[in-house]
């Protein structure tokens, strides 16, 4: 097995927990339409693009709208979301991330961000990590959301590396599938019961040794 030359990181759920803010903003929108969404349902929105998320939520509430109305709702949700994100600070970086990045840089690995969020750069700026990535692939650079592999394939391409050189860190089922379809090894952040397809699953980056991820084999 190739030793990895680069680590590709999802943003939401791996570097920061913006899922709670997405949930609050989507919930506010659903409530304004007369229904509610559960925390459990919110799990299925992780890693899913803004418009795809909106369609799933409207289907959940049994609401049919025109494309124009949908765009207006997505814009409103994003404004509510940005109000929450604007209050983020470096204190919102998830446990273990900062130390892990120190080790990753010391090992000479390249890093890329692979997020479908159009707000990814703004969030990285808020938490002081904008300069920590050699490549940033976000929702403004891709046409297809996860589980399509585009976001991670573009990451490898911008780094000038092959998929076999890359290990992806992901918290979402759709993200693990995207990475696997890109031909990359995966570290799931969460629980093995949910991230069943990941090559290795850890609860967070605290206890993970960089060398273990560099030499990670595909799960058999
Ligand atoms: P935005 P990731 C994803 O980020 C989120 O997990 C998902 O819930 C969100 O709908 C999507 O970004 C789009 O975000 O509305 O900010 O463009 O997990 O790929 O980092
Ligand atoms: Mg995520």
What pLDDT is stored for residue 207 in this prediction? 82
150 C-beta closer than 6 A to ligand 1: no
The per-residue pLDDT for range 173-206, each reduced to its tens digit, is: 999 999 999 999 999 999 999 999 999 999 999 9
148 C-beta closer than 6 A to ligand 1: no
| Domains of the chain from N-terminus onward | 6-17+91-214 (3.40.50.1000), 19-85 (1.10.150.240)
- Nearest atom (ligand 1) to Cα of 78: 15
3-state helix, strand, coil in the chain (%, to 5): 45, 15, 40
116 C-beta closer than 6 A to ligand 1: yes
Ligand located closest to 190 CA: 2
What pLDDT is stored for residue 1 in this prediction? 67
Is 17 an active-site residue? no
Nearest CA among 119, 180, 122, 112 for reference residue 146: 180
Return the best residue to mutate from 56, 78, 115, 136 for the ligand 1 pocket (most ligand atoms within 8 A of CB). 115
Half-sphere exposure of 88 (CA within 13 A, CB side): 29
The per-residue pLDDT for range 110-160, each reduced to its tens digit, is: 999 999 999 999 999 999 999 999 999 999 999 999 999 999 999 999 999
Q: How many residues does the chain have?
A: 220
- Buried b / exposed e across 114-128, counting CB within 10 Å, b at 16+? bbbbebbbebbebbe
Structure pTM?
Answer: 0.93
Tokens at residue 22, please?
């997405």
171 C-alpha to ligand 2 centroid (Å): 5
Give alpha helix (H) positions in 66-207.
67-85, 97-106, 120-126, 150-159, 173-181
Percent of the chain with pLDDT over 70: 100
Q: What dihedral angle (degrees, nearest 10) is formed by the CA atoms of 128, 96, 116, 71? A: -70
């Amino acid at each position: 097995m190739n030793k990895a030359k680069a680590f590709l990181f999802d943003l939401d759920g791996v570097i920061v927990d913006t899922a709670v803010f997405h949930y609050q903003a989507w919930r506010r929108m659903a409530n304004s339409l007369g229904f509610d969404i559960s925390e459990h349902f919110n799990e299925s929105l992780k890693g899913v693009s803004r418009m795809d998320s909106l369609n799933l939520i409207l289907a959940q509430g049994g609401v049919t709208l025109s494309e124009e109305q949908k765009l207006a709702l997505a814009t409103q949700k994003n404004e509510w979301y940005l109000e929450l994100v604007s209050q983020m600070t470096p204190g919102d970086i998830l446990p273990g991330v900062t130390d892990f990045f120190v080790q990753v840089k010391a090992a000479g690995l390249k890093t890329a961000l692979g997020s479908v969020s159009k707000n990814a750069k703004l969030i990285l700026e808020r938490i002081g990590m904008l300069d920590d990535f050699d490549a940033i692939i976000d929702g403004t650079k891709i046409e297809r959301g996860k589980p399509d592999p585009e976001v991670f394939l573009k990451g490898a391409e911008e780094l000038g590396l092959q998929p076999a050189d890359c290990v992806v860190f992901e918290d979402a089922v759709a993200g693990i599938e995207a990475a696997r379809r890109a031909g990359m090894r995966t570290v799931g952040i969460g629980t093995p019961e949910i991230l069943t397809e990941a090559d290795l699953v850890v609860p967070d980056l605290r206890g993970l040794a960089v060398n273990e991820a560099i030499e990670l084999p595909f799960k058999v």
